[in-house]
Amino acid sequence: MNLISRLPDVGTSIFTVMSRMALEQGAINLSQGFPDFPVSEEIVELIYKYLKEGHNQYAPMPGTPALRKAIADVVSTTYQRTTDFETEITITAGGTEALFSTIAALVQQGDEVIVFDPAYDSYDPSIRLNGGVPIHIALRPPHFAIDWLQVKATITPRTRLIIVNTPHNPTGSILREADLKQLEAIAQAHNIIVLSDEVYERIIFDNTSHESVLKYPGLAQHSVAIFSFGKTFHATGWKVGYAVAPPHLTQEIRKTHQFITFSVNTPVQLALAEYLATPDHYLQLGQFYQRKRDYFLNAIKGTSLKPLPCYGSYFQLLSYAGVKTLPEKEMAQWMTEELKLAPIPVSAFYQNGDNQQLLRFCFAKNEATLEKAGEILRKL
């Protein structure tokens, strides 16, 4: 068979590569973004309860009504936006499926999609698989701020979608109110859809607030907001996320979602619906992870590595400029093999593989893990 790849330049993701290398080398894995501490016993018991009660068949395609109603209540309380659970909320198999289903539903052949690098690695291939043309705009350290004049200059009649991510993976930067107002004006002026990746919405630091597209009425009408319970409740393996969008966009997203996943596992949805009824289960998450960020930063004091500002997510960028001259991928490999500590090269998040001597470290770990990582890094 003469097979022609639709993604000839795409290999195994950097997260899989570095996690496998960490395992092979017996290294501490601060590369892939997953916690190494347990989820709440309460929610585990709730899942078990619904399993035992026999809720083990297909959920409704858009998601169980109980979970969608619970989400609508949370959105209303958090963002002061009334949301119809029947027509504006769709439960997906994690944030990545929500992103893909949205792109598959809304991007047509030749449509341009603006992506800000460094970017989560699913954006670009999802666009190309659906016939779109990714238009990459590079953001620069230390703050990775968006130049809105550059965005306006990049828009063409073919621009269909703009993808934003706040709090940002991999940099920990966030969008501010002024950014959202700029984005709102652009979306309204050019009739562009905004795909807003907000999976780290609850993990935000230093008394800042998460600026969701849902907070801005004019912007919300042009936007699809993506969220993830895996990030919020330390359970990335459950793969449960959701998309919030106005009815005319939700209708299209569900058309693709039903043929990609159809529905998400029922007992976890029902357990999440009940668990969300207690706001303290998620409202303290920012303080929880800020303590971990600060613990990690304290653990690496005395190293030659320079931390960049981190306002959200559970990732910390460190610059090794002046420590070694290796390109980022080689530095990550060297650190994993020689120091037994695995990071992620930030260049993997850029289309052109920019080498800025930056590595990403996940601090969603036990304090013992972070302390050991600090001991290793202090030897540099």
Domain residue limits, the chain = 14-32+284-377, 54-281
Q: Residues 17, 18, 24, 29: what is their CA dihedral angle, to the nearest 10 degrees? A: -150
Q: What is the CATH number of domain 54-281?
A: 3.40.640.10
Domain 14-32+284-377 has CATH 3.30.70.1890: no
Question: What is the structure's pLDDT at 23?
Answer: 93
pTM: 0.96
Return all residues near 41 (Cβ < 8 A) that are at least 6 apart.
Answer: none
Nearest to 62 by CA among 36, 89, 39, 22: 89
Question: What is the structure's pLDDT at 268?
Answer: 98
Question: What is the structure's pLDDT at 328?
Answer: 96
- Cα–Cα separations (whole angstroms), residue 61 to 93, 223, 330: 11, 21, 44
**pLDDT tens for the 380 residues of the chain, in order:** 788 899 988 888 888 899 999 999 999 999 988 898 999 999 999 999 999 999 999 999 999 999 999 999 999 999 999 999 999 999 999 999 999 999 999 999 999 999 999 999 999 999 999 999 999 999 999 999 999 999 999 999 999 999 999 999 999 999 999 999 999 999 999 999 999 999 999 999 999 999 999 999 999 999 999 999 999 999 999 999 999 999 999 999 999 999 999 999 999 999 999 999 999 999 999 999 999 999 999 999 999 999 999 999 999 999 999 899 999 999 999 999 999 999 999 999 998 877 899 999 999 999 999 999 999 999 88
In the structure encoding, which two tokens stand for residue 114, read together? 């603006």
- Cα–Cα separations (whole angstroms), residue 328 to 144, 350, 353: 18, 12, 9
Sheet holding 306-307, edge to edge: 306-307, 315-319, 358-362, 344-345
Question: What is the structure's pLDDT at 332?
Answer: 96
Question: What is the structure's pLDDT at 294?
Answer: 98
CB 299 within 8 A of CB 96: no
Q: Within 13 Å of residue 193, how many CA atoms lie on the same side as its CB?
A: 23
Nearest to 148 by CA among 107, 124, 116, 126: 116
Question: What is the structure's pLDDT at 33?
Answer: 86
